[in-house]
């Protein structure tokens, strides 16, 4: 059951103002319309928003936010809703501001290697808009055919190519922001390394808690002269992990380096049938090298040798775009393919030092056995960013709690070996109770100061990222999500 029926607020005065501003088509208020917006990619928690508003311009966003501020109504921003940590999960009696009508490319400046976009534009569209001229936009989350640039900015998203090129923050030059009081400000600019405080850096990764990005200036890069993808298969994940460490130790920085274990390989082959991933392999490694032709040829040979030295059974290489795409296809479809194995999955997102890969994967397997769940592993191996996918059935009473406890143990393990509780999916509603695993009270307090400077009334995405004292300690995870007023499990 969903909590919405108990809502008390009379939305009519706000709806009237929103309709006057963005028109009838830009406001959703009927129950059946709101259902779509109850959750993001963290589907186990749902909360229906009070009203959904779809502005088209910065000025409209500013006015919507001013109305919220005047009525002291919290607001949550939503891009495409693919976030996996509950960042765009509505809070009780909130206005959900959705950017999906803000999908314009405002400027393309090839000479200066930059584009200016509205936040709702889909990640992949940026590359599509400039690829004909020999450019690309580097950060490429696996969700890139659907997620928005605004969401990427808010989550500081990563992707396959972030090993070499860096995550979103390395590609955002400037932002036009609507602050939580409705004022419009510009941070950063048209060139990198602007003087003064790095407010662009502060905003990127702030998960909708500091305001709304309404125009984003992105850095684009020249398409490399040559690209090659290698697929190496191994008997064990330890062997593949050894190859990852050795490739980096040899001073090679591939464009991307991804690993999938046996469970994931078989799920993917069942669903997208690439025909390229050997079903009996303990693990496969996908390594992309790019750059000048001569560099690619040399690195390809060096990587193949390192993989063989670590026990690779076979190595396939692809230079032409079509075969490269075929090799990547399975990896890109890996999360979706989990539906073949299990009705539900809970994806974790931890980071570990690369040297701990084999140890941590063994520990995760042991934890899975302890809790009685299969855990598939698909991840950005090059930067130690793990994505253990815990397979479960949410219709079994108590399963979600157990799965979350298992996920929590995995995160604590990541921290214990010197890693982090999030590589790219953000903290959102999902992981805020684990913040004290990484940060001291003083650290968290400092972050709160920053939040309060931008968001003094606490109306922008309240309850996300930060734990309250009650949500720390034993049994914190369940409490932390329940603490969202009105959030109910379904």
Return residues touching ligand FAD (CB under 6 A): 40-41, 76-84, 87-88, 99, 119, 141-143, 147-148, 150-152, 154-155, 157-159, 207-208, 212-213, 335, 424-425, 461
Angle at alpha carbon of residue 428, lines to 427 and 430, rounded to 5°: 80
For ligand FAD, the closer CB: 106 or 294: 106
Shortest approach of ligand FAD to residue 97 CB, angstroms? 8
Shortest approach of ligand FAD to residue 422 CB, angstroms? 10
Residues facing residue 172 across a β-bridge: 218
- Tell me phi and psi for residue 426, to 5 degrees: 80, 175
Tokens of 306: 């390192």
Shortest approach of ligand FAD to residue 232 CB, angstroms? 21
> With contact defined as beta carbons under 8 Å apart, do 245 and 357 qualify?
yes
Shortest approach of ligand FAD to residue 280 CB, angstroms? 26
**Smallest Cα–Cα separation from 344: which of 410, 401, 378, 394?**
394
For ligand FAD, the closer CB: 213 or 403: 213
For ligand FAD, the closer CB: 158 or 282: 158
Question: How far, in Å, CA of 215 to CA of 57, rounded?
Answer: 9
For ligand FAD, the closer CB: 136 or 371: 136
Shortest approach of ligand FAD to residue 12 CB, angstroms? 25
For ligand FAD, the closer CB: 242 or 419: 419
Cβ-based burial of 346 (10 A; exposed 0-12, middle 13-18, buried ≥19): buried
Shortest approach of ligand FAD to residue 378 CB, angstroms? 10
CB atoms within 10 A of CB 194: 15
Residue nearest to ligand FAD (CB): 151
For ligand FAD, the closer CB: 17 or 349: 349
Shortest approach of ligand FAD to residue 195 CB, angstroms? 24
For ligand FAD, the closer CB: 84 or 232: 84
265-287 b/e (C-beta count within 10 Å ≥ 16 → b): bbbbbebbebebbbeebbbbbbb
CB proximity list for 98: less than 8 A, separation 6 or greater: 37, 52, 53, 54, 77, 78, 79, 120
Shortest approach of ligand FAD to residue 78 CB, angstroms? 4
CA distances to 177, 250, 310 from 426, rounded to whole Å, are 20, 31, 33
For ligand FAD, the closer CB: 155 or 290: 155
392-429 b/e (C-beta count within 10 Å ≥ 16 → b): bebeeeebbeebbebbbbbbebbbebebbbbbbbbbbb
């Amino acid at each position: 059951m969903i909590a919405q029926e108990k809502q008390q607020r009379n939305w009519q005065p706000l709806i009237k103002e929103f309709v006057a501003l963005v028109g009838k088509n830009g406001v959703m208020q009927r129950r059946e319309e709101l259902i779509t917006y109850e959750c993001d990619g963290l589907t186990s928690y749902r909360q229906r928003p009070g009203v959904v508003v779809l502005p088209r311009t910065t000025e409209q966003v500013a006015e919507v936010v001013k109305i919220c501020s005047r009525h002291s109504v919290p607001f949550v921003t939503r891009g495409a809703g693919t976030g996996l940590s509950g960042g765009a999960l509505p809070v009780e009696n909130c206005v959900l501001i959705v950017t999906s009508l803000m999908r314009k490319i405002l400027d393309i400046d090839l000479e200066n290697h930059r584009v200016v976009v509205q936040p709702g534009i889909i990640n992949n569209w940026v590359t599509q808009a400039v690829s004909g001229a020999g450019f690309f936009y580097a950060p490429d989350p696996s969700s890139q055919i659907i997620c928005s640039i605004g969401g990427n900015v808010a989550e500081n998203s990563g992707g396959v190519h972030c090993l070499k090129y860096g995550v979103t923050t390395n590609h955002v030059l400037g932002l036009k922001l609507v602050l939580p009081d409705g004022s419009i400000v510009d941070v950063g600019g048209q060139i990198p390394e602007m003087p003064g405080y790095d407010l662009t850096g502060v905003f990127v990764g702030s998960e909708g808690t500091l305001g709304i990005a309404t125009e984003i200036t992105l850095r684009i890069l020249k398409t490399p002269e040559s690209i090659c993808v290698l697929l190496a298969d191994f008997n064990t994940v330890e062997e593949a992990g050894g190859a990852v460490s050795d490739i980096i130790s040899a001073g090679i920085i591939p464009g991307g380096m991804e690993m999938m274990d046996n469970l994931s390989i078989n799920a993917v082959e069942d669903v997208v049938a690439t025909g390229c991933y050997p079903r009996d392999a303990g693990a496969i490694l996908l390594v992309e090298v790019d750059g000048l032709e001569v560099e690619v040829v040399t690195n390809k040979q060096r990587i193949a040798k390192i993989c063989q030295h670590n026990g690779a059974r076979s190595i396939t290489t692809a230079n032409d775009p079509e075969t490269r795409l075929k090799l990547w296809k399975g990896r890109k479809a890996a999360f979706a393919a989990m539906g073949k194995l299990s009705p539900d999955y809970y994806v974790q997102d931890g980071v570990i030092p690369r040297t701990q890969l084999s140890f941590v994967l063994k520990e995760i397997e042991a934890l899975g056995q302890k809790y009685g769940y299969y855990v598939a592993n698909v991840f950005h191996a090059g930067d130690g960013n793990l994505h253990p996918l815990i397979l479960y059935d949410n219709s079994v009473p108590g399963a979600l709690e157990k799965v979350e406890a298992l996920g929590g143990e995995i995160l604590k393990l990541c921290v214990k070996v010197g890693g982090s509780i999030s590589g790219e999916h953000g903290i959102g509603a999902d992981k805020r109770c684990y913040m004290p695993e990484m940060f001291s009270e003083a650290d968290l307090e400092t972050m709160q100061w920053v939040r309060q400077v931008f968001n003094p009334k606490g109306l922008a995405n309240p309850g996300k990222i930060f734990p309250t004292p009650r949500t720390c300690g034993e049994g914190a995870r369940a409490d932390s999500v329940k603490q969202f007023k009105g959030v109910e499990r379904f």
